[in-house]
Amino acid sequence: MQNLWPSEIKRVAWLAPGLLGWLLGTALQVAQPALWPPWVYIGFVLLALILIALAAIKRIAIRFHRRRWLPALLCGLLLAWGSCGLRAGYFLQTALAPDLEGRDVAVVGLVAAMPQPSDTGLRFRLQIESAQVDGQPVVVPPRIDLAWYGGVLASGWGGSAQLLELQRQPDALRAGERWQMTVRLKAPHGGRNPHGFDFELWLWEQGVQATGYVRAGPKDAAPQRLARTWQHPVEQARQAVRDAIYQQVADRRLAGVLAALVVGDQGAIERWWLTLKFCSGMSLIYKDFFTFTILE
């Protein structure tokens, strides 16, 4: 049994340089100030596949002799660089077109995550199925984050001449439901504070390429619930558990903490967390991975 160890180690020795090459290729692509043409990244991937095929038939091993790690390093680097570049290019192709920003867009989509109630209304993620502007089909990002405000809302994104419009109160949205509504979108924008939270990067990681709000004024078409579907079953279950907690626990603040512990609804305790942190100086609550620890 012990005699088999050297041969087994040699058989998987290429994994370390291959993984190192993958990390280097990913880092090089992320560091690019601008994307290259797609054919460059396709060439990287094809070259990596050719090297893998040649290594499989042991032709490269003879040439490199004691440097057998080099083909694995090159394969990992080229494969990661090419695949990351292609992925980034595809992601940019599905970004929100500049001429659609600030316009009323009629969309049909699925609620992809359990909605988050707030003091001003409701926030939720919508998985787009179709979109139209003035009756003509348009292409919008496949995932968008929306806010549905209650009360009044300033009409427009900015400027001095804004009117306050009365908005319909948000309905009880549930994950997995199909809705038709009119929205206004914009490309994601976040702060550039050093060492601060990178909102744009977080949205990129979530696959969200546009944010906006629901147009629910008296002159807008009323949002309509079209159907309930079986899609996003995990989010449906999480929302059901969260709603049950709020129904059983009278203290809203305590209910938010329990919801965060049980289903990971961190938005339910955000205001309480900030108040505790800045008013009492206690920043001893660790809320990642749905875990809370309070030290006295």
List, for residues 165-213, the tens digit of each pLDDT value: 667 777 789 999 999 999 999 999 887 778 788 888 889 889 999 999 9
What pLDDT does residue 24 have? 96
3: which residues sit within 8 A by CB, 6+ positions away? none
**150 touches 120 (CB < 8 A):** yes
**Angle in degrees, CA 227, 234, 120, rounded to 5:** 70
pLDDT tens per residue, range 208-240: 999 999 998 888 899 999 999 999 999 999 999
d(CA 89, CA 77) in angstroms, rounded, equals 18
- Rounded Cα gap, residues 277 and 271, in angstroms: 10
Both tokens of residue 273?
A: 């967390």
pTM: 0.76
Question: Where is pLDDT greater, at 251 or 96?
Answer: 96
Residue 272's pLDDT band (cuts 50, 70, 90): low
Return the higher-pLDDT residue of 7 and 84: 84
Tokens of 193: 């504070």
> How much is the pLDDT for 54?
79
pLDDT at 3: 55
Do 269 and 257 meet the contact criterion of CB atoms below 8 Å apart? yes
120 against 271, higher pLDDT: 120
How many Cβ atoms are within 10 Å of 292's Cβ, its own excluded?
14
User: Which residues are registered as beta bridge partners of 186?
Assistant: 211
> What is the pLDDT, as a whole number, of residue 201?
85
Q: Of the ranges 7-11, 47-51, 66-70, 198-202, which one carries the lowest mean pLDDT score? A: 7-11
The whole-number average pLDDT for the span 114-123 is: 88
pLDDT for 287 beyond 60:
no
d(CA 285, CA 75): 44
Residues 86, 89: Cα–Cα separation, whole Å: 5
Tokens coding 284:
């001893």
